[in-house]
């Protein structure tokens, strides 16, 4: 079990900048982390990690990762949150899954997000065709 400690995650800039997400406590069963770089609470980037145990013998154990990315702007001379983007990735692991099976599932998502076709389709909000 990982110890709750600050996380360092790079952003998507051409020259990636490392962001430190400090422990933000618990929000229920969610371990919450926050990047306070903006200096304004409404602009803090949030990262969440939640584990949901199976609720039945045939159910799956779930691990859910979330990112909440607010964008600040100036409206009538006041800094405000002007929009928000977010992501959620949910892994559903069979209760009897092996370590290798769980590693494979995680790798498919991590490597899929790095794929030369998938990544631009996300950036450009484009579906597959043909």
CA distances from 90 to 62, 64, 73, 116, 124 (A): 7, 4, 31, 22, 22
Residue whose tokens read 């990735």: 89
Residue whose tokens read 């484009």: 126
CA angle 71, 15, 74 (to 5 degrees): 20
Choice between 81 and 128, residue whose per-residue pLDDT is larger: 81
Confidence grade of residue 27 (pLDDT, cut at 50, 70, 90):
low
Return d(Cα 14, Cα 22) in angstroms, integer.
24
- Residue-wise pLDDT for 49-70, tens only, equals 999 999 999 999 999 999 999 9
- Residue-wise pLDDT for 93-119, tens only, equals 999 999 999 999 999 999 999 999 999
Q: What residue segments make up the domains of the chain, in order of their start?
A: 7-95, 98-130
Q: Is the pLDDT of residue 25 over 90?
A: no
CATH class label, 7-95: alpha beta
Contacts of 80 (CB under 8 A, 6+ apart): 42, 72, 73, 74
């Amino acid at each position: 079990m990982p110890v709750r400690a600050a996380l360092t995650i790079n952003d998507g800039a051409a020259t990636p900048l490392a962001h430190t997400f400090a422990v933000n406590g618990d929000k229920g069963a969610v371990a919450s982390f926050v990047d306070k770089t903006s200096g304004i609470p409404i602009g803090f980037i949030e990262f969440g990690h939640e584990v949901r145990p199976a609720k039945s013998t045939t159910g799956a154990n779930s691990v859910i990762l979330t990112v909440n990315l607010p964008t600040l702007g100036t409206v009538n001379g006041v800094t405000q949150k002007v929009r928000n983007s977010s992501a959620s990735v949910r892994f559903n692991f069979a209760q009897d899954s092996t370590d290798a099976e769980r590693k494979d599932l995680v790798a498919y998502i991590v490597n899929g997000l790095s794929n030369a076709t998938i990544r631009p389709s996300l950036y450009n909000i484009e579906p597959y065709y043909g």
